[in-house]
Amino acid sequence: MKLWHKVRTTLEMIKWEHSVFALPFALTGAMLAAGGWPRVSQVFWIVVCMVLARSAGMSFNRWADANLDAENPRTKMRAIPAGLLSREFVGGFTLVASILFLLAASQLNHLTLLLALPELAILLAYSYTKRFTRWSHLVLGFVLGTAPAAAWIAVRGSLDPRILVLTLVVLCWVGGFDILYACQDAEHDRRVGLKSLPALIGVPRAFLLARGLHIIMLALMVWLTELFMMGAIAWVGITIVAVLLLYEHLIISPSDLRRMNAAFFTMNGLISVVFFTFVAADILLRSWLRNHSR
């Protein structure tokens, strides 16, 4: 029971349920690759890979940032600085999740397995980027943005350059909301020497940059629909995403960050699910029409 309690505490610490952020984009990549639903086995292993990769990345981030978290009033009650978990246990959890991720990747195809190790290395290395570059937010965006491209490879065994537009969509989306989230720690980051953008350029300018990234994200979504010749259903989804992004930016401001959790967790989870739902419906409708026009 003691081991299970530690595992449960670790899962709470890394908020594994927030895998929903990038998972719908990965499934979108898989459906675009398949032109409909991929095989059940492919979907299963893609989901397993996503959850394990995120679990490894988040637990390693908590391991790497334990001392920094202890100095930050907002994060000092996280499991490691609060003494609920040891760094050794969290390090072991990261190792197990990483190994299981590689094993899961091996169940898909050769190229997926070949790319799994460098993907894991980039995912873990992200935790240190805020120590030496202001662009750590975009590194995180790139890491999550590889999910739809990886899912395409998992289904096809090769890469189509068109899916990289969806990678850029996720990069801009994640980069934007991570900049917003980092605004909460701007003063702390500045004091301890971490190079987050809000700490370096100020919260008001960080808000403007995040808004710019989200505008670019919407433009890339439009380009994606053109590249894959999507129809009206996908356009409705993008319109709803635009409205949700607007709402996200309206409920927080440089002078009022009180609703950051609602903007960060609730709205972004909803954005990814809405995008997937409408694009998936569009793909399935086009697939049905093709099959019934023969």
pTM passes above 0.85: yes
Q: What is the pLDDT of residue 286?
A: 87
In a domain, 151, yes or no: yes
What is the predicted pLDDT for the residue at 102? 96
Residue 292 lies in a domain: no
CB atoms within 10 A of CB 172: 24
Helix orientation angle between 203-227 and 164-182, rounded to the nearest 10 degrees: 160
SS (H, E, C) 113-142: HHHHHHHHHHHHHHHHHCCCCCCHHHHHHH
- Domains: count for the chain: 1
Residue 113 lies in a domain: yes
Residues of the chain with pLDDT under 50: 1
CATH number of the domain at 218, please.
1.10.357.140
Structure confidence at residue 232 (pLDDT): 94
Rg (CA), the chain: 19
- Please tell me the predicted confidence (pLDDT) of residue 77: 85
User: Is the residue at 293 inside a domain?
Assistant: no
Q: What share of the chain is helix, strand, coil (3-state, %, to 5)?
A: 80, 0, 20
Specify if 294 maps to a domain: no
Burial 174-202 (b: 16+ CB within 10 A, else e): bbbbbbbbbbbbbebbeeeebbbbbbeee
Look at residue 82 in the predicted model and tell me its pLDDT. Answer: 87
Q: Look at residue 141 in the predicted model and tell me its pLDDT.
A: 94
Answer whether residue 64 is part of any domain: yes
Q: Is 142 helix (H, G, I), strand (E, B) or coil?
A: helix
**What residue numbers bound the domain in which 47 lies?**
2-287
**Cβ contact 171:222 at 8 Å:** no
Instruction: Considering only the C-alpha atoms of the chain, give the largest distance between any 2 of them, rounded to a whole number of Å.
Output: 66
